[in-house]
Amino acid sequence: MTAPLTDNAVLKLLNVESAYGPIKAIRGVSLQVRRGEIATVLGSNGAGKTTILKTISGIIDPRKGTVEFKGENITAQDPAHIVQQGLMHVPEGREVFPLLSVRDNLLMGAYTRNDRDGVARDMELVFSYFPILRERAAQDAGLLSGGQQQMLAISRALMADPDLILLDEPSLGLSPKLTKEIFEIVVRINRERGTTILLVEQNANMALNASDYGYVLENGRIVMEDTCARLREKEDIKEFYLGMKEAGVRADRRWKKKKNWR
């Protein structure tokens, strides 16, 4: 990678390895996310996507390697401290506070801020992105549908006015239509607010269309990276992630055997 791009990086991972006891979940992962872009990590079940995000946000301490955020080494720092530096993680399965109202969930996202006017403005902003949240503002978050909870989880992260949002599979459990709507708003947030986003997804189609730059993760290793425009044109990606060929047993076998990504 060339130096000017590196200088523009908000997030950099260098040779990161994380494990659960004896199970190495990610091995030697290096990646970067440039300011103002949406980057994506694609990978199937168990590839290590969630582990990458948990390692970045300090939930898991890596065995090796470093994580840099805005030029600071944040490797294995306390998660609360990482949040304070402007990095918000929207976890897999959203994890809203079910017994708090929608409005209070949003305010929880803003707990590190003391600019009350700014917080009020951002509350209006997230309501403009997701009008249903305004309608349900006084209702317990646990009563929202799965898709509405995803909207709330993304909005709660926005309420911190972050420099970087980590998004873990926003499409999980949502209908294609709702997935599309949520992705459109994620792109709008990125374009309108300039929020940098690292998105991990199994839904390669949505992720590659929404993102600028992509990494392909397989068995804990990055096996390919490129601009999403170029990734979309690669035969391996079309075949295995975009389902543009019959995904029968033979395809499965080839998938497992395949080592050399083009």
Ligand X SMILES: Nc1ncnc2c1ncn2[C@@H]1O[C@H](COP(=O)(O)OP(=O)(O)OP(=O)(O)O)[C@@H](O)[C@H]1O
From the CB of 80, what's the least distance to ligand X, in Å? 21
Q: Applying CB under 5 A, does 196 fall inside the site for Mg ion?
A: no
The DSSP annotation for the chain comes to --HHHHHTEEEEEEEEEEEETTEEEEEEEEEEEETT-EEEEE--TTSSHHHHHHHHTTSS--SEEEEEETTEE-TT--HHHHHHTTEEEE-TT----TTSBHHHHHHHHTTT---HHHHHHHHHHHHHH-HHHHHTTTSBGGGS-HHHHHHHHHHHHHTT--SEEEEE-TTTT--HHHHHHHHHHHHHHHHHH--EEEEEES-HHHHHHH-SEEEEEETTEEEEEEEHHHHHH-HHHHHHTS--S---HHHHHHHHH-----
Closest to ligand X by CB, 56 or 159:
56
Smallest separation (angstroms) from ligand X to the CB of 211:
17
With contacts defined by CB under 5 A, name the span among 43-51, 111-119, 151-159, 233-241 that binds Mg ion. 43-51
Name the residue nearer to Mg ion (CB basis): 50 or 155.
50
- 51-90 footprint of Mg ion as x/- string (CB under 5 A): ----------------------------------------
Contact residue for Mg ion among 18, 32, 40, 50 (CB under 5 A): 50
Q: Rank residues 20 and 249 by Cβ distance to ligand X and give the closer one.
A: 20
Q: How far is the CB of 201 from ligand X (least distance, A)?
A: 9
Please, which residue, 30 or 202, has the CB nearer to Mg ion? 202
Residues that bind ligand X (CB under 6 A): 20, 23, 25, 43, 45-51, 92, 202
Task: Name the residues that contact Mg ion, by CB under 5 A.
Answer: 49-50, 92
